[in-house]
Amino acid sequence: MPQLPEDIIDRLNQMERRLKALSTAVNTRPAVNEFRPTPSESVTITRPLFRIFDGYNHEIFADDILTGGLARPWLQLMPPLATDPAKWPSTTAAAFTTVARCSNPIWQPKLRLAISTAASSGATGQVRVLVDNVPFGPSVTAGTTYDYIGLLPGDMKTRFGQTMNIEIQAQATGGTVYAQPVLIHGAQT
């Protein structure tokens, strides 16, 4: 075996010692499934607290320390809705008209929205969605299902936790166009 200069062997031994020290440090870290309250919370909180923050210091996940379960993000649920299209939001207007509107907090960068649509006998029309006055997804022909998932308009970093406004708009020719939201939730990129 060829003779290596002594300084290379010394360097290799030093690197090996550093790797062992690093390996020991990594293996002796506290478990990541244990979370403790911050010093300001330790008087008031008697159970471990679990919180996760994103790179912009937005609290994106937290447990409910009083009763257990999920505290943030709270998840919105759809209410039971009428199945009779005659009871759905509708319009007879020839121009796009807002037939339904809601406001929701921004927790995820994407939104999925599904809408059942219908038209009265002999009618035709279109249904579209606006998020903060910006078109969201395609317009669909009344009688087909609108089902779209896409990025929300604007900058997610600065809009996190703020409110977005969602509008369902419809237009009709020769009768009535109906639109009923049936699914809505945030999604990751």
Tens digits of residue pLDDT in 11-35: 888 999 998 888 777 666 555 444 5
- Work out the mean pLDDT of the chain and round it to a whole number: 86
Tens digits of residue pLDDT in 119-165: 999 999 999 999 999 999 999 999 999 999 999 999 888 898 899 99
Predicted local confidence at residue 42, as pLDDT: 57
Predicted local confidence at residue 37, as pLDDT: 55
Instruction: Tell me the average pLDDT across 85-105.
Output: 96
Contact 93, 179 (CB under 8 A): no
